[in-house]
Amino acid sequence: MNGKVIFWFIMMFLPFLLYVDFWQWNTIYPIVFGWIPWHVFYQVLLNIAMVVIFACFCKYHWPKHNLKD
Amino acid sequence: MSGPAMGAMFVILLYLALTLSIGIYSGRQSAKSSEGYFLASRELGPYVMFFTLFATNISAFAYMGAPGGAYHLGVGFFGYLATTTSLAATFFYVIGYRTWLLGSKYGYVTAPQLIGKIYNSKGVAMVMLVALSVFTIAYMLCQPIGAGYVINAVTGGAVPASVGVLMVLIFITIYVFVGGLKATAYADLLQGSIMMICVILVLILVTLKLGGLSAAAQSLMTAKPELFARGNFSIEQWISFGLVISLGVPVFPQLFTKYLAAKNTNSLKTTMTLYPLAMILIYIPVLFLGAFGSIVFPGLVGKASDAIIPMLLENFYAPWIGALVLSAVIAAIMSTIASQLITTSTMLLKDLYIPYINKNLSPQREVFVGRVFILVLAVLTCYIALSPPAAILTIVTWAFTGYAVCTPAILAALYWRRSTAAAVICSVLAGEIVLVLFMLGIIPASVLGKWQACVPAIAISTLVLIVVSYLTKSGEEERRSIDEKHDFLDTIFKAENA
């Protein structure tokens, strides 16, 4: 595996690790926008991060094929 | 029927008629060929693909079970449900892209067919067919009653749940029967949009009555602060659930079929990228509504809280507004059943009827036989849905684990040349046997502590896969077939990463 593949493997695997946010299990504060507890907002941010990672992955790494589209 | 109930019924009927029209119109040409009917001619573009995968995956649970769960356990449910499903989108590339490549090159139509052909093994195809279809059929049989309850509720009891079930099933069966997968996918485009718009609308409507989001959150923090924390969940449950959802969802047969039906790679790329956003849009509203519901209707016990969203709407608004929003629940149910119906009938045709009963079936007759399966499954669903036996409900409870134990074998088929047909069969059987042992209580759940049964089941299926692959050797035909498929995949993946 070359460096590029390892980089994208780590980027795609990272959200799986960050999903288990044991270090802030019951961290409610700050209440974001006055209604979202922090641990929920963290998971929302993680979902948004996945959108960015997936978009970059699709643009820069998704292997091209030789079939007729 | 009272005036308000008639208004609600009119909204529901309008929605059903619109879905039916879109389904029939979009799928009217597709029955001309087998591939057109069962795979929408492999022409599903990016946005249709996104909405059909989204609508297929989101079932009635998102609008009933999830808010009901948040009512008791709190909004911490978000990571548990939304993030895990977003993680599953990773596999739209990991599994979806290779599946699409092989399907496009060799003309595969179903998951069992694809995995079986990689190993040139009827045994692999049969094990996959049984493992995937048992859970899918059980799941499908239990869904329509939710629609029956919704229609019964919005009409104030004027339309019995059984009639509601029948109505929804008739509408679904007509458009699936006429237009196959294409009709299902285009109906999902409407249904997925309704599911998203309605749930956001209902959050706005309900929180307006509660004084706004901040005021509602403040009331909840004062009355039930535990619903803002995650004390009701353990790390072990969190990891177990993450594992079972992220590995189980991507191999749902109804999703697998959609990978094969993608028009091009953009369809998969767009779906993968937008999926986490869709999870935020769905789960933030339903979970906060569930938790806010505990302020308005405190003291609900058990499953009574599953109806918290209809209860909130009924409390604050006229029935027709409730019906408008509850169309989202019916949309979620219909889209899931329709995809399960077409996918299951395709698997029964391609993986059972043609290989074992009628090898010489012409492509023209394939559509006819597929439609017969659709009708048989629809009648069976109607019969069972009204009072599902306990055994079926138990199978549904374990469905995600049942799918997830197939994932190591599917990954091996797509990535690992050394894997053998014997190993794939043993892996799936071992995983399912572990599941059955826990399901029947032969192995008590207490041995796992706070972990869920999916963890040992997936671990054992993976271990068996590796060990048996090293202990067995592929035959000449099997080896040739594996090498052919992997050589083809290597021309794309190795060349790109060289």
Instruction: State the complex-level ipTM.
Output: 0.96
Cβ distance of B492 and A63 shorter than 8 Å = yes
Range of the domain at B217: 3-393
pLDDT above 50: residue B498: no
Q: What are phi and psi of B252, to 5 degrees?
A: -50, 130
Asked whether residue B87 is domain-assigned, the answer is yes
| pLDDT confidence tier of residue B256, bands split at 50, 70 and 90 | very high
* Best to test chain B binding among A24, A35, A42, A56 (most B CBs inside 10 Å): A35
Q: For chain B, give the percent of residues with pLDDT over 90.
A: 72
Distance, CA of B104 to CA of B113 (rounded, Å) = 13
Cβ distance of B279 and A47 shorter than 8 Å = yes
Tens-digit pLDDT profile for residues B441-481? 999 999 999 999 999 999 999 999 999 999 999 999 999 99
Which of B332 and B342 is assigned the larger pLDDT?
Answer: B342
Q: Write the residue in A16, A34, A47 that is nearest to B280 by C-beta.
A: A47
Tens-digit pLDDT profile for residues B26-44? 888 787 889 999 999 999 9
Q: Write the residue in B238, B273, B284 that is nearest to A55 by C-beta.
A: B273
Q: Say which CATH number the domain at B294 has.
A: 1.20.1730.10
Residues of A in contact with B242 (CB under 8 A): 16, 19-20
Chain B: residue nearest A30 by CA? Answer: B228
Q: What are phi and psi of A53, to 5 degrees?
A: -60, -45
Asked whether residue B445 is domain-assigned, the answer is no
pLDDT above 60: residue B355: yes
pLDDT above 50: residue B170: yes
Tens-digit pLDDT profile for residues B372-423? 999 999 999 988 887 778 887 788 788 999 999 999 999 999 999 999 999 9
DSSP 8-class letter at B355:
I
Distance, CA of B38 to CA of B26 (rounded, Å) = 14
Q: What is the mean pLDDT of chain B?
A: 92
Distance, CA of B315 to CA of B102 (rounded, Å) = 53
pLDDT for the residue numbered A2: 83
Which residue in the block uniquely carries the two structure tokens 């879905």? Answer: B19
DSSP 8-class letter at B438:
H
pLDDT above 90: residue B232: no
Exposure b/e, B73-101, CB count within 10 A at least 16 = b: bbbbbbbbbbbbbbbbbbbbbbbbbbbbb
Cβ distance of B93 and A62 shorter than 8 Å = yes
Domains contained in chain B, number: 1
User: Virtual CA dihedral for B86, B90, B95, B100, nearest 10 degrees?
Assistant: 90
Q: C-alpha A33: how far from its chain's center?
A: 22
Asked whether residue B21 is domain-assigned, the answer is yes
pLDDT for the residue numbered B175: 92
Q: Compute the average pLDDT of residues B118-143.
A: 93
What residues have CB less than 8 Å from B84, skipping those under 6 apart? A19, B241, B242, B245, B246
Q: Write the residue in A40, A51, A65 that is nearest to B78 by C-beta.
A: A40
pLDDT for the residue numbered B394: 82
Asked whether residue B416 is domain-assigned, the answer is no
pLDDT for the residue numbered B497: 57
* Best to test chain B binding among A23, A26, A54, A66 (most B CBs inside 10 Å): A54
Cβ distance of B217 and A5 shorter than 8 Å = no
Distance, CA of B39 to CA of B335 (rounded, Å) = 16
Angstroms from B81 CA to nearest CA on chain A:
11
pLDDT for the residue numbered A68: 62
How many Cα neighbours within 13 Å face the side chain of B269? Answer: 15
Whether the ω angle into residue B298 lies within 30 degrees of 0, i.e. cis, is no
Q: For chain B, give the percent of residues with pLDDT over 70.
A: 99
Residues of A in contact with B225 (CB under 8 A): 28
Question: Phi/psi class of residue B358: alpha, beta or left (left: φ > 0; alpha: ψ in -120 to 50)?
Answer: beta
Asked whether residue B460 is domain-assigned, the answer is no
Asked whether residue B438 is domain-assigned, the answer is no
CB contacts under 8 A, A 8-67 vs B, are 12, 15-16, 19-22, 25-26, 28, 31, 33-37, 39-40, 43-44, 46-48, 50-51, 54-55, 57-58, 62-67
Specify whether the CB–CB gap between B101 and A67 falls below 8 A. Answer: yes
User: In chain A, which stretches have pLDDT less than 50?
Assistant: none
Asked whether residue B96 is domain-assigned, the answer is yes
Distance, CA of B27 to CA of B40 (rounded, Å) = 8
Asked whether residue B90 is domain-assigned, the answer is yes
Residues of B in contact with A12 (CB under 8 A): 90, 93
Among B110-114, B155-159, B233-237, the minimum mean pLDDT is found in B155-159
Angstroms from B275 CA to nearest CA on chain A:
8
Q: Compute the average pLDDT of residues B321-326.
A: 78
pLDDT above 80: residue B47: yes
* Best to test chain B binding among A2, A8, A27, A43 (most B CBs inside 10 Å): A43
Which residues is A36 bridged to in the sheet?
A32
* Best to test chain A binding among B84, B230, B489 (most A CBs inside 10 Å): B230
